[in-house]
Amino acid sequence: MTLASAPSSGETWPSWVLPVAVVLVSGLLLTGPALRRRYPVAWWLLLGFPAAAFRVVRTWRPLMAGCRLAVSRRPALTVGSGLVGNGAPPPQPRVPRRGFIRPTAGGFWLLVRLLPGQVPEDFVKAAPALAENWQVHAVRVTSWKPGVVRIAASVADPLATPRIPKQRGPGYLLRVSVGTLETGAAWVVDLRRVPHWLIVGATRSGKSTLINALVAGLAPQPVALVGIDCKGGMELSLYEPRLSALATNREQAVKLLAALVDLTLDRMTVCRTARVRNIWGLPEKERPVPVVVIVDEIAELFLVASRNEKDEAQAAGTALIRLAQLGAALGVFLVVAGQRVGSDLGPGVTALRAQLGGRVCHRVADPGTAEMALGDLNPDALKAAQAITPEQAGTAVLASGDGWERARSLLITETEAEAIATEYAHLAPVLPELLEETR
C-alpha cells in the first residue's frame, strides 16, 4: 500500500498567504486616509515608505543618467538619457551604487558610493530633480565619508506643523527638546555637548520663541538660570520667579557678569584641589549647580554713546569672553541672543562669536548678521538662512561643528511661560553672590 504523502508547505503556501495578503493590503488602502490623519508615522511606515522605496528603485538608473551622474562603460562615449548609435541598443551606463533604503519617521535615507571623478556637489545640484522624481518634499545631500554621500528625503515639510514629544519630568540634565528638525526628528539643544550658543533673528522671526522653549525645558531641571536683559527685562522678566538672578540694565549686567567670572574662578580652585579637570569629575554631592546664562539683545551691552558707556561695554565683553572660555568645564553655559550682531559693535563681538560653537539664525534684517552667525561655519547654511521668508516665523538654520539643519522651535506663549516659571519657582537655586549684584 502506498501512503499519500502530506502536501508540502511550498504547495500550501499560496492557498492561505495570498488571500491574507490581499485582505491586509485592501484594509490598509481603505483605512489609509484616516490612518494618515491620526497616525502619520504608522501610515508612512506601512504604506508611504514601500511606495517611495519602489519609486527610488524603479527610477534610479534613468534618473542617474538624466542628471548626468552615470558614466559610460566605454571611455569614448558620454552617457546621456536616450543615447543610441548605429542602430545598436544604448550601452548600459555605469551608475553610482546605492545602499539600502532606510525609513525615518517622515522620510527615508540611503548611502551612495561616488563613481571615479564625482564629488558630493554633483549630487547636491541634482537634489531638486531627485525630489521631483521621487515625489517628496525635499532631498538633502551631505557628505558621509570620502567617496560616499548620504541622501535624505523628507516626504512632507515637518516645519509646517512642528511636533515634539512632551517632556515628562526633568529629563536629561542640560538637554532640552525645543522644536522639530527638517528631518522630522526632535530639535535637541544639549549644553553638555555644545555648551555655548548664539541666537540671532529679526523682530517676529522666532528668536524669543526659541528662548522661551529653551527656558521652559530647563526650568524643571536642577540648574540655575541667570538672565541679562538690558531692555528693561521686557523679555526675560516672564521667568523671573525661576531665575536665580536678573540684570535689567547694563550697569547691573556688568556687575553680574563680573560675579559670574568670580564664581567660575572659585570653581576652578575647587576642581584643582580635587585634582579633576571639570566639575563633572567631582562627587555628585560636592558638584556645584550648573548655571545657564541667557543674554537677550547682546547689542544693548556693546552699543556706546559716551566714554563711561564704552568702559562698561568693554568690561561686559571681556567678562562674556572669559565665561565662554572657562565656563564649559566649570558648569557655566552661555546663550547669547540678538536682533543684530555684527563687527560694527566692536572687536569684542567677533572674539565672543568665536567661542560660541552653536549657532541659530532666524530670518534677519541684514546680511551681516547672518554672516556673523553662520559664515565661518558653513556657506550652505548661510544661503539657507538668507532664504527664510517673513512667513516662515520660527524657522531657523542651526549649525555647529557637526553640520547644519533647518528647524522650527515649539511655540511657548507668554501665559505658558509665566505658568512654567511659577510652577518651578521653588527649584531656583539661591546664589547670594549673584543676587547682591542685581539689587
What cell does 125 get?
A: 545640484
For the entire predicted model, the pTM comes to 0.77
User: Percentage helix, strand, coil, to 5, in the chain?
Assistant: 45, 20, 35
First to last CA, the chain: 106
Cα separation, 156 vs 135, whole angstroms: 10
Range of lowest pLDDT (20-24, 141-145, 413-417, 425-429):
20-24
Strands 107-113 and 102-104: antiparallel
**289 three-class SS:** coil
Tell which residue, 214, 216, 162, has the closest CA to residue 191.
214
| Residue 268 near residue 262 (C-beta atoms within 8 A) | no
Place 231 in a pLDDT band, splitting at 50, 70 and 90: confident
201 and 363 in contact (C-beta within 8 Å)? Answer: yes
Distances (CA, A) of 98 to 2, 64, 228: 54, 11, 51
> Given this model, what pLDDT does residue 101 score?
94
Over residues 412-436, the mean pLDDT reads 84
Which of the four pLDDT bands, split at 50, 70 and 90, describes residue 156?
confident
Q: Report the C-alpha gap between 72 and 65 in whole angstroms.
A: 10
- What Å distances lie between residue 339 and 103, 130, 282, 296, 297, CA to CA? 38, 36, 38, 9, 7
For helices 307-330 and 250-274, give the axis angle rounded to 10 degrees.
30
- Show the cell assigned to 41: 508615522
Cα–Cα nearest to 229, from 203, 216, 247: 247
User: Rg of the chain over CA atoms, in angstroms?
Assistant: 28
Share of residues in the chain with pLDDT > 90 (%): 36
Asked if the model's pLDDT at residue 307 lies above 80, the reply is no
Is residue 70 over pLDDT 50?
A: yes
pLDDT at 121 exceeding the cut of 50? yes
CA distance 1 to 22: 41
SS (H, E, C) 35-60: HHHHCHHHHHHHHHHHHHHHHHHHHH
More confident residue, 308 or 48: 48
Selected residue with higher pLDDT from 251 and 112: 112
Amino acid, single-letter form, for residue 337: A
List the one residue out of 20, 28, 27 whose CA is nearest residue 51: 28
Q: Which residue has the cell 566692536?
A: 346
Q: What angle do CA 127, 129, 132 make, to 5 degrees?
A: 110
Pairing between strand 97-98 and 332-338?
Answer: unpaired
Rounded distance, CA 22 to CA 83, Å? 41
Place of cell 528631518: 183
Cell numbers 508612512 correspond to 44
DSSP notation for 85-122:
BTTBPPPPPB-PEE---EEETTEEEEEEEPPTT--HHH
The mean per-residue pLDDT over the stretch 185-202 comes to 90
